[in-house]
């Protein structure tokens, strides 16, 4: 499958991770809670997904409300003031409103008056796409500092009577500050791969609410604003995507799988990562996973897991990090980072 591949030439500026942050809503929804809502069980969910609990946004807690504490944590970690930001890029499937962009609200609330602000929707691959946009702006000299956020309120578009989807998703936000650095060598985002197979777009979709099928009382009554998913086909797509991206990324950059210190994948399903480890092969302990505690937080899953990995001491300066995303569209994306 064709992909867009970027290999940064050495004379461009380096794009460095200057800080990370994350936020999870206070409410925990356990598998036991779901047992009281739908025909399922803790054992069934854990066996098929590895998920034990997920976080759920409070009533009135919007996508930007999740993003703001993650953004502030990332800025504090980077020792950077919001006024120094040149760009705010928000990856999300479900923003505060259709118009304007959620990034505009975040820009105002942070006080980042100089920053360009826009949203990006590549579903669960969204953070990788947004990271590529931020890094490209930095490497070209357009930005000096960029805030990249993944934030999702998945619980607002899940059908809580459908056990095939409601068990999977959670809410949360993660953020990273990218900064420009001069000179060759050192920390950098070394390469990206971005791709999409639009012919498979119906595998994960929300049918109503757009221009093809606008919202009406009838679409709302029929539940056509809930997310639907072909679980079997998505599982195969996810395993194939991770395995191929890992091997291609190593081949293009002249590194061995064992050179990668840590992989942070989209947290879609524990069984997906297990299957990937068997096929590649790569030890499971090279993957940072938090799906048991967070579920699938879509565009937020990679930055949340990355922030946790950093704070847990899983990355040292100079380590090679691989970020791996895949999701609705059907999209995929990877990033190779020298930490």
By annotation, the residues acting in catalysis are 124, 266, 296
Q: Write the DSSP assignment of 83-118 as a string of letters.
A: GG-SEEEEE-SS-S-SSS-HHHHHHHHHT-TT-EEE
The sign one gets for the Cα dihedral 237, 333, 3, 243 is negative
**Phi and psi torsions of 71, nearest 5°:** -65, -45
Tokens 């030439």 map to which residue? 9
What are the C-alpha distances in Å from 6 to residues 192, 203, 244, 333?
5, 27, 17, 11
Q: How far apart are CA 61 and CA 20, in angstroms?
A: 22
For helices 42-49 and 270-279, angle between their N-to-C axes, nearest 10 degrees: 30
**Long-range contacts: 206-210, Cβ < 8 Å, 24+?**
206/157
């Amino acid at each position: 499958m064709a992909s867009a591949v970027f290999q940064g030439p050495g004379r461009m500026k380096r794009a460095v991770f200057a800080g990370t942050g994350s936020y999870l809503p206070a409410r925990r929804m356990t598998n036991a809670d779901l047992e009281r809502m739908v025909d399922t069980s803790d054992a069934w969910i854990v066996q098929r997904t590895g998920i034990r609990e997920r976080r759920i946004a409070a009533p009135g807690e919007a996508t930007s409300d999740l993003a703001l504490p993650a953004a502030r944590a990332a800025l504090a970690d980077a020792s950077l003031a919001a006024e120094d930001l040149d760009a705010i890029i928000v990856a999300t499937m479900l923003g505060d409103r259709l118009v304007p962009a959620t990034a505009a609200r975040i820009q105002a609330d942070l006080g980042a008056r100089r920053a360009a602000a826009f949203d990006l929707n590549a579903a669960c691959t969204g953070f990788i796409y947004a990271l590529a946009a931020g890094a490209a702006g930095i490497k070209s000299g357009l930005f000096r500092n960029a805030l990249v956020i993944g934030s999702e309120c998945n619980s607002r578009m899940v059908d809580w009577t459908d056990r095939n989807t409601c068990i999977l998703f959670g809410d949360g936000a993660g953020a990273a500050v990218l900064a420009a650095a001069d000179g060759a060598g050192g920390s950098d985002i070394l390469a990206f791969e971005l791709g999409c197979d639009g012919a498979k777009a119906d595998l994960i979709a929300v049918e109503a609410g757009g221009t093809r099928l606008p919202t009406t009382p009838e679409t709302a009554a029929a539940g056509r604003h809930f997310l639907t998913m072909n679980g079997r086909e998505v599982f195969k797509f996810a395993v194939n995507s991770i395995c191929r991206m890992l091997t291609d990324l190593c081949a293009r950059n002249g590194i061995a799988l064992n050179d990668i210190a840590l992989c942070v994948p989209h947290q879609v399903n524990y069984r997906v990562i297990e299957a990937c480890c068997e096929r590649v092969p790569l030890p499971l302990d090279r993957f940072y996973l938090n799906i048991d505690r967070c579920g699938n937080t879509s565009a937020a899953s990679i930055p949340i897991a990355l922030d946790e990995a950093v704070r847990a001491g899983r990355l040292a300066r100079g380590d090679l990090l691989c970020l791996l995303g895949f999701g609705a569209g059907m999209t995929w994306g990877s990033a190779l980072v020298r930490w």
